[in-house]
Chain A
Amino acid sequence: MALPAYLSALREMILDSDPVKAADLQRDALARRFPHLNQSELSDLAEMDPARLRVYTDLIFAGERSTLEYVYPASLAVIHRLRRTAGDEQSHRLADFELVRELHRWRPWRSSSQRQLAANFEAFIRARRQEWLLAWAGLADLLDFERTELEVFYAADPPFERVTAAKLNELSNLTVEALLMLRVAVPSYVAFRSYVFNAPAFIARWRKTRELPDPLPIAQSASNQDSPTVRFVCGRDTETLLPCWHRQDAEPGFVFTEIVRDELLLVDDLARRYLAALPADYHRSEELLFAEFFERLAKWFRSGILMLAATSQDRHKSLPPHNTSGGFSVSKP
């Protein structure tokens, strides 16, 4: 069986060949490297036009570069800035092409999954481009942000019901008791992140202007244990189905950090956690508290951080017995 050797040889000639050898040198090298190749296969491979092989090399690495540009547009813009600041005058396209070749040599792409190529790229930067991470402490988070957003965008649909505007309207007509008895879940695609700078705001601005701020925003080094981090949650907007980020610390009573994703719970549980998470000096009337909680609940639903348990299939799944007051003693305003 020489086919495996033939395909492997072709792969190496396309992806891994250093400056192309003359045909007879190529033939000897191939014969040593792939002893299973027969004479005619050796000749066929050795006589392949190097310029034509190079067409494949260029197409393949340009394709991988495009995939990375698709996943990490802003991170690559930052990398371009860092390269220039370090005095590298090479064209960005060429430098990125060489970067992708080096990535391939370091850790080849072993599946057709875009996610795997992305993971390889981030690992490569940590291992081989420490100087970039040191030059701007926000880069690791920016890479994570861009990949996370795409993962949230693509994530498979969880077995829960999206609360659309129409559904939310229905919910707002429920009694407080009925509302508190609803079962909900944080779907598995929801991402919780802590970043050393406000990555979502940075990206929003970059998307609008396609220009990076100069200088790049201050980001504390992640290795500094005392460094302040900003906490975010990313869900999927119920109407547009696009990823949407919320800053957690901007919300008093953010309750999701300790909730296991995909696990059913009652709105009542959320209400209790909400009240417990409010600052001690947060004084409001019962009515106002409930109104604020409902407003928050609606926001969580709209941003897909929270979904409704599908009504039919898991009705039989029991939850622990519960006194459903959610800590509220009011009827709905």
Chain B
Amino acid sequence: MNFNARASLPRLGAGIGLRRQHFAEIIDRRPPVRWFEVIPENFIGRGGFIAESLRRIAENYTLIAHGVALSIGSTDPLDLEHVRRIRQFCDDVHSPWFSDHLCFTMVDHVNLNDLIPLPFTEEAAHHVAERVRVVQDILERPFALENVTYYVAPSRSQMTEAEFITQILERADCGLLLDVSNVVLNAANQGYDAEAFLDAIPLERVIQLHLAGFEKNGDVLLDTHARPVSDETWRLYRKVIERVGPSSALVEWDAEIPSLDRLLQEAEMAQKLMDDVAALRAS
């Protein structure tokens, strides 16, 4: 499965993350949601209420799988069994693509339980690209890497973050899940220009977008996913949409999760901006 296969991927508009707090309401009320992003690790190997809810929601909605535990950048051996289970999960819910983060979460077989940045080096780029190829072969569907936030400046004497991302995507021939809020946040925390960053990455490889809220803690913006999407993020998102066209944009809200209606409002905002840009283009 290579880059060309992505051309045929659906552009789903704005969606939201599927969270357990909302299962019953989604099943009972069947709200109009264009699509849900699902985290396979929350479902794999689980039965009962979790499996039954997923089955019922999958009957009525498009689901897109987004992983959190691939640890693609780790130097521990790739957990092929995990990748096969992800493959099965994607098959089961008919997820047309799969994504995970450009980072590591586990090393020396110790779980860091967070997205830890990789050094921006040739060696790391080569390492990740090799592993992405293995993952794509097992998944047999397009795979996208998501740009993560980073609070410490990882090794960047060899290349910039944008160069690092570009090298990996091109070497592995995979897609990009562009987290727009992560760009805003990294630009602020690391002191670079968000738009220049967009200019430097292969936007033609974007197959999905993320939008999330963050919070200020002292001099650092934290990617908490516990707040509405910021105005800066909306502005940058609009610029992204102007360049990549309509896409599949996901509002992430993972802590202090609000009501389903509040989440849907946020998704409507993402959809409206997408529609506005499309209307402008058409006129």
> Contact between B220 and A7 (Cβ–Cβ < 8 Å)?
no
Q: If A6-B155, A14-B116 touch, does A109 touch B47 (CB 8 Å cutoff)?
A: no
The reply on A157 being an interface residue by CB < 8 A is yes
For chain B, residues 135 to 164, give those with C-beta under 8 angstroms from any C-beta of chain A: 151-157
The reply on A101 being an interface residue by CB < 8 A is no
Q: If A44-B155, A44-B157 touch, does A109 touch B119 (CB 8 Å cutoff)?
A: no
> Contact between A108 and B45 (Cβ–Cβ < 8 Å)?
no
A side interface size, CB within 8 A:
43
Pick from A47-55, A167-175, A193-201, A212-220 the stretch touching chain B: A47-55
The winner among B107, B116, B217 for most chain A CB atoms within 10 A is B107
> Contact between A112 and B151 (Cβ–Cβ < 8 Å)?
no
> Contact between A60 and B50 (Cβ–Cβ < 8 Å)?
no
| Complex contacts, B102 vs chain A, CB 8 Å | none
| Complex contacts, B153 vs chain A, CB 8 Å | 44, 48-49, 52
The reply on A17 being an interface residue by CB < 8 A is no
The reply on B259 being an interface residue by CB < 8 A is no
Is chain A's binding surface mostly helix, strand, loop or mixed? Answer: helix
The reply on B112 being an interface residue by CB < 8 A is yes
> Contact between A109 and B110 (Cβ–Cβ < 8 Å)?
yes
> Contact between B114 and A63 (Cβ–Cβ < 8 Å)?
yes
Query: Bound state CA distance, A49 and B150, in angstroms?
Result: 12
> Contact between A56 and B114 (Cβ–Cβ < 8 Å)?
yes
A1-32 Cβ-contact flags toward B at 8 Å (1 or 0)? 11110111011001100000000000000000
The reply on B278 being an interface residue by CB < 8 A is no
| Complex contacts, A49 vs chain B, CB 8 Å | 152-153
Query: Bound state CA distance, A161 and B76, in angstroms?
Result: 41
The reply on A242 being an interface residue by CB < 8 A is yes
B62-90 Cβ-contact flags toward A at 8 Å (1 or 0)? 00000001000111000000000000000
**Chain B interface category by residue count:** 35 or more
> Contact between A112 and B111 (Cβ–Cβ < 8 Å)?
yes
| Complex contacts, B112 vs chain A, CB 8 Å | 11, 14-15, 56, 60
| Complex contacts, B121 vs chain A, CB 8 Å | 3
| Complex contacts, B107 vs chain A, CB 8 Å | 4, 7-8, 10-11
B124-136 Cβ-contact flags toward A at 8 Å (1 or 0)? 1001000000000
| Complex contacts, B242 vs chain A, CB 8 Å | none
> Contact between A108 and B48 (Cβ–Cβ < 8 Å)?
no
For chain A, residues 136 to 166, give those with C-beta under 8 angstroms from any C-beta of chain B: 153-158
| Complex contacts, B187 vs chain A, CB 8 Å | none
Q: How far is the CB of A103 from chain B (nearest CB, A)?
A: 13
Query: Bound state CA distance, A53 and B241, in angstroms?
Result: 34
> Contact between A109 and B113 (Cβ–Cβ < 8 Å)?
yes
| Complex contacts, A240 vs chain B, CB 8 Å | 49
| Complex contacts, B47 vs chain A, CB 8 Å | 154-158, 189
| Complex contacts, B127 vs chain A, CB 8 Å | 3
> Contact between A112 and B106 (Cβ–Cβ < 8 Å)?
yes
The reply on B109 being an interface residue by CB < 8 A is yes
The reply on B51 being an interface residue by CB < 8 A is yes
The reply on B204 being an interface residue by CB < 8 A is no
Q: If A11-B108, A14-B116, A64-B113 touch, does A41 touch B49 (CB 8 Å cutoff)?
A: no
| Complex contacts, B222 vs chain A, CB 8 Å | 55, 59
The reply on B123 being an interface residue by CB < 8 A is yes
Query: Bound state CA distance, A277 and B107, in angstroms?
Result: 54
For chain A, residues 229 to 262, give those with C-beta under 8 angstroms from any C-beta of chain B: 236, 240-242
The reply on B105 being an interface residue by CB < 8 A is yes
| Complex contacts, A209 vs chain B, CB 8 Å | none
The reply on B46 being an interface residue by CB < 8 A is yes
The reply on A91 being an interface residue by CB < 8 A is no
> Contact between B152 and A154 (Cβ–Cβ < 8 Å)?
no
The reply on B104 being an interface residue by CB < 8 A is yes
Task: Name the residue on B nearest A59 (C-beta).
Answer: B114
Task: Name the residue on B nearest A111 (C-beta).
Answer: B111
| Complex contacts, B52 vs chain A, CB 8 Å | 241
Q: If A7-B107, A56-B116, A112-B69 touch, does A157 touch B48 (CB 8 Å cutoff)?
A: yes
Query: Bound state CA distance, A49 and B220, in angstroms?
Result: 12
> Contact between A236 and B48 (Cβ–Cβ < 8 Å)?
yes
Query: Bound state CA distance, A53 and B151, in angstroms?
Result: 7
Task: Name the residue on A nearest B224 (C-beta).
Answer: A59
Task: Name the residue on A nearest B117 (C-beta).
Answer: A10
Task: Name the residue on B nearest A240 (C-beta).
Answer: B49
| Complex contacts, A109 vs chain B, CB 8 Å | 110-111, 113
| Complex contacts, A44 vs chain B, CB 8 Å | 119, 153-157
Besides A3-B127, A52-B151, A56-B114, 9 more A-B contacts (Cβ < 8 Å) are A1-B123, A11-B108, A11-B110, A41-B155, A44-B156, A48-B152, A112-B69, A156-B45, A157-B51
Measuring CB to CB, which residues of chain A are less than 8 angstroms from any residue of chain B?
A: 1-4, 6-8, 10-11, 14-15, 40-41, 44-45, 48-49, 51-53, 55-56, 59-60, 63-64, 67, 108-112, 153-158, 189, 236, 240-242
Measuring CB to CB, which residues of chain B are less than 8 angstroms from any residue of chain A?
A: 41, 45-52, 69, 73-75, 104-114, 116, 118-119, 121, 123-124, 127, 151-157, 217-218, 220, 222
| 8 cross-chain CB contacts under 8 A | A11-B116, A15-B112, A49-B153, A55-B220, A56-B152, A63-B113, A109-B111, A112-B41
